[in-house]
């Protein structure tokens, strides 16, 4: 045991402005920053949370208000201190905090000035502000008693028995070099705020399902449930319990598109507007979503597994083991759990693949079998294999017809493409099996596949081809054969 009382020491306090500038570079997005502020509101047992903003170029203001139990003057000053609560301190079960830094780092990441106004049911309104320009001026860790339009905010909060409001000013990360009259700047800002709204609808969906109201500019945010509970065709899997009940894992095989209306299918795409982006694990900490749709390094995302989503529930006592970061947007499972996660994921992915493939087979069985049209054909020359573009592929034939054949230059370019297909490299990578082989348009916007498929279908119909025969032809054309479910939209 070291006797520290006998050891010489000297103060090495960090320089205030430099340290705060470091806080600004932690890597928050606007979405994760506002979500971090709302964590405090939920910890304060708020029933209603209001996110508001007023666009005015560089003078734009964003505020987050809640009707939680509020703070006294002393409590507020403590809350404004960086590292106000140690991550080693045991927190209440429903506390969403992590390092005691969230309010400060989240706000600093987006703005140079922020004010917190609060009151409890027994104490009057109090407020303090962090101002980075003042910190640079004073060279000290000092709050200031200043908040633009404080009287206006006091009036707005008058009807609430207890509350807290966080107000961001000088939001340089969003509004630097903008002007209030710029249509482009305003549109970009509104687009960002729309992203924030979608993010909140996902991250706090469980709280909102249980009665929490989150309002965005006065309108209640609709919940986005990644597991589509209650939808026809959903297949929930049995729950797996680990670590004596601390960790709960549950797989969901989402409904195939054929079971959903267009509106329901689009709902399933979520904030990223993509089924593929949202497949994978959903890691929750006290009902708060940390990781949304990620295979946690176990698998790569592939379109065949779009219907597979798996919830993982953790308590706030496992933050260190799961390496929950300061932004509460990253979690990494401890090594001892990877085998169990792999087992659950393999089973759920296998069942999701069955649903995906079975529906494709059903669609294909209904159609008349036609000649298959691949984009590439194998040819033998001098006893060796080569690959050529299939000049009879319907898309290429249509291109040739529109251009009255190919010019000599384009034909030469096509020949160079054919002669330089990296077959040895492809074969080597396939043998190494480092990454799974992707299918055409996987991980990209598949809307182009649907659009071209529709154009081809309409052209066939206009030429007198029967609808079922047209679909049968399309089903045998690469790459449409990978996306048979799109035929249902024709």
Q: Classify residue 228: in a domain, yes or no.
A: no
Query: Residue 248: enclosing H or E segment and its boundaries?
Result: strand 247-253
In percent, how much of the chain has pLDDT > 70?
Answer: 88
pLDDT tens sequence across 216-251: 999 999 999 999 999 999 999 999 999 888 999 999
Structure tokens of 451? Answer: 């659009």
Q: Do 63 and 186 belong together in one domain?
A: yes
With 70 as the cut, is the pLDDT of residue 255 above it? yes
Q: Using an 8 Å Cβ cutoff, are 51 and 34 in contact?
A: yes
Residue 239 sits in the same domain as residue 214: no
Burial of 198-221, coded b for 16+ CB within 10 Å and e otherwise, reads bbbbbbbbbbbeeebebebeeeeb
Judge if 335 and 386 occupy the same domain.
no
201 & 301 share domain: no
Helix, strand, or coil (residue 376):
strand
Distance separating alpha carbons of residues 147 and 137, to the nearest angstrom: 18
Q: Which residue range is the domain that position 412 belongs to?
A: 376-489
CA–CA separation, 481 and 449 (whole Å) = 11
20 within domain boundaries: yes
- Give yes or no: residues 21 and 163 share one domain: yes
Q: For residues 45 and 120, state if they share a domain.
A: yes
Distance (Å, whole) CA 410 – CA 393: 17
Question: Strand 235-236 to strand 247-253: parallel, antiparallel, or no bridges (unpaired)?
Answer: antiparallel
**Domain contains 10:** no
Whether residues 23 and 168 share a domain: the answer is: yes
Alpha helices in 420-446 (DSSP H): 423-432
CATH number for the domain spanning 174: value is 3.30.565.10
* DSSP annotation string for 256-290: PGGGS-HHHHHHHTTTTT-TGGG-EEEEEETTEEE
**Domains of the chain: total:** 3
3-state secondary structure of 137: helix
Model confidence at 468: pLDDT above 50: yes
Query: pLDDT for 355-377, tens place per residue?
Result: 887 655 555 555 555 567 788 88
Q: Is the whole model's pTM more than 0.85, yes or no?
A: no
Q: What is the CATH number of the domain that holds 281?
A: 3.30.230
Last residue of a domain, one of 334, 362, 390: 362
Q: In 3-state terms, what secondary structure has residue 455?
A: helix
Do 115 and 205 fall into the same domain? yes
CB atoms within 10 A of CB 474: 25
Tell me the mean pLDDT in the region 447-456.
84
Q: Tell me the per-residue pLDDT of 310-350, one tens digit each, with 9 for 90 and over.
A: 999 998 888 778 777 666 667 888 888 889 999 999 999 99
Two tokens, residue 374: 């691949």
Q: Are 38 and 64 in contact (CB under 8 A)?
A: yes
Closest CA to 319 of 91, 108, 109: 91
Neighbours of 406 (CB within 10 A): 15
What are 292's two structure tokens? Answer: 């949304």
Considering the domain boundaries, does residue 230 fall inside one? no
Asked if 36 and 183 sit in the same domain, the reply is: yes
CB proximity list for 53: less than 8 A, separation 6 or greater: 60, 61, 62, 63, 193, 217
Question: Does residue 105 sit in the same domain as residue 212?
Answer: yes
């Amino acid at each position: 045991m070291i006797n520290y009382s006998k050891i010489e020491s000297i103060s090495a306090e960090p320089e205030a402005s430099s340290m705060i500038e470091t806080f600004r570079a932690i890597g928050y997005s606007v979405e994760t920053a506002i979500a971090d502020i709302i964590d405090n509101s939920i910890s304060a047992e708020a029933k209603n949370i209001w996110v508001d903003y007023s666009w005015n170029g560089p003078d734009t203001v964003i505020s987050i208000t809640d009707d939680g139990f509020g703070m006294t003057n002393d409590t507020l000053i403590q809350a404004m201190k960086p590292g106000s609560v140690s991550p080693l301190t045991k927190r209440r079960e429903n506390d969403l905090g992590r390092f005691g830094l969230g309010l400060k780092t989240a706000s600093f990441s987006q703005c140079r000035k922020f004010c917190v106004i609060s009151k409890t049911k027994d104490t009057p309104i109090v407020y303090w502000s962090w101002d980075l320009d003042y910190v640079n001026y004073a060279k000290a860790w000092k709050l200031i008693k200043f908040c633009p339009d404080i009287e206006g905010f006091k009036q707005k909060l008058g009807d609430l028995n207890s509350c807290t409001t966080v107000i961001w000013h000088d939001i340089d990360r969003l509004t630097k070099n903008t002007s209030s009259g710029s249509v482009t700047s305003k549109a970009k800002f509104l687009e960002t705020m729309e992203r924030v709204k979608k993010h909140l609808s996902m991250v706090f969906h469980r709280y909102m399902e249980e009665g929490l109201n989150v309002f965005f500019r006065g309108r209640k945010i609709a919940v986005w449930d990644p597991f589509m509970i209650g939808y026809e065709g959903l297949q929930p899997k049995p729950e797996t319990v680990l670590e004596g009940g601390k960790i709960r894992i549950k797989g969901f095989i989402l409904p195939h598109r054929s079971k959903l209306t267009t509106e329901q299918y689009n709902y399933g795409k979520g904030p990223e507007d993509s089924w593929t982006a949202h497949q994978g694990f959903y890691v929750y900490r006290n009902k708060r979503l940390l990781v949304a749709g990620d295979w946690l390094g176990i698998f790569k995302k592939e379109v065949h597994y779009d219907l597979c989503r798996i919830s993982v529930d953790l308590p706030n006592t496992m933050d260190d083991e799961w390496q929950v970061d300061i932004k509460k947007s990253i979690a990494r499972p401890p090594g001892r759990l990877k085998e169990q996660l792999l087992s659950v994921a393999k089973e759920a992915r296998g069942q999701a693949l069955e649903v995906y493939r079975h529906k494709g087979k059903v669609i294909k069985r209904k159609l008349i079998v036609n000649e298959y049209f691949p984009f590439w054909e194998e040819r033998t020359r001098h006893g060796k294999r080569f690959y050529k573009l299939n000049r009879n592929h319907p898309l290429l034939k249509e291109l040739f017809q529109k251009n009255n054949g190919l010019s000599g230059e384009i034909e030469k370019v096509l020949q160079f493409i054919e002669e330089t297909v990296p077959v040895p490299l492809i074969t080597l990578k396939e043998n190494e099996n480092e990454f799974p082989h992707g299918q055409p348009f996987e991980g990209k916007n598949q809307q182009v596949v649907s659009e071209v498929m529709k154009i081809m279908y309409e052209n066939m119909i206009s030429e007198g081809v029967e609808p079922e025969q047209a679909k049968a032809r399309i089903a045998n054309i690469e790459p449409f054969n990978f996306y048979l479910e799109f035929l249902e939209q024709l």
